[in-house]
Amino acid sequence: MLSSIRRVTYPPRPPFDHLLSIADLDATGVDELIEHALELKARPAAVASLPLAGTSVALVFDRPSLRTRVSFEIGIQRLGGLTTTLAGRDIGLGSREPIADIAATISRYVDAIVMRVVSHDTLSQLAAAASVPVLNALTEREHPCQALADLLTLREHLGALPGRQLVFVGDGNNVCHSLLLAGAAVGLHVRVATPPGYAPDPEIVAQATATARRSGARIELSHDPWAAVDGADAVYTDVWASMGDEAEAGLRRRAFAGFQVSRKLLAGAPEALVMHCLPAHRGEEVEAAVIDGPRSVVFDQAENRLHVQQAVMLRLLRHPATRLAGRSQGRPERPTIARVAALP
């Protein structure tokens, strides 16, 4: 029986230094995180040893947040770490001072930085200048922690993922991008149905397709949601106007009118799980009877954000090779508390 989270170990192979994209993980890395998250969820008492005691994490939130903020704050604190949460306006992200200066400063105070920002370029700039691991908690390009929680949810409900069919109906947005990359890595078939003009980024699709060739997954794009959901194991949707697209809400409602995940649409996949990253607009992208129905796993997805993010933070902050990887890239080695105590 697991008595301490310290007994969870990873094989001696190069880990990720930052997690800015699902593509920063290979199939083995994704599988390890899912297995670790399952273990954490099954044995919550295992974190009683407070494996992140003595560490601190800055949470930088430039966009509104419920699930992301609460799951990171509570998850890190349960592991024994400290968090400080900053709004983008508090630090003038990219306006009050250069992003590189912000990264260099925060790196002197904390052991990791979690970023929820609009611009993926801002995230990349900050990660390039930081001397601690940086984690993407959402950008307009990707939402990797959400995709990992989604894979955990599918694993719980469907078992092994290779060969299963996930269908995403709606906007080819950041959540869609991360699902394409995550599914391709683990052999999960991903089919995306969007209105014309709202398909996922071709660069992401090409990247996912290349990964899928190695894993045996299929990546498919469609403009026909009725054909897309046929035989699906899970049907996923998201709001039609994501953060930053609010000005287009009226236009998008008209464009997406035939893409609601409804009881009629799901007739071709009556046993399919229903997924949504939340917040949801019932009556728009999803019918209330569907998201609140017996096949819905949306609140399992929400809960699983906590367990996945704990696994990710443990990987970033506890795996010895992670810190070595950072030093090998020329980052300054910061003395630990134990080393400071030993200084003359």
As annotated, the active-site residues are 116, 143, 146, 238, 277, 305
- φ, ψ for residue 83 (rounded to 5)? -125, 145
Joined together, the tokens standing for residue 69 give: 């903020």
DSSP at 331: P
The residues near 58 (Cβ < 8 Å, ≥ 6 apart) are 83, 84, 86, 106, 109, 110, 112, 113, 114
Helix (H, G, I), strand (E, B) or coil at 7: helix
CA 25 to centroid of chain Cα atoms? 12
Contact present, 75 and 304 (Cβ < 8 Å): no
- φ, ψ for residue 98 (rounded to 5)? -60, 150
Beta strands in the chain (DSSP E): 56-61, 82-87, 112-116, 134-138, 165-169, 189-193, 219-222, 234-237, 273-276
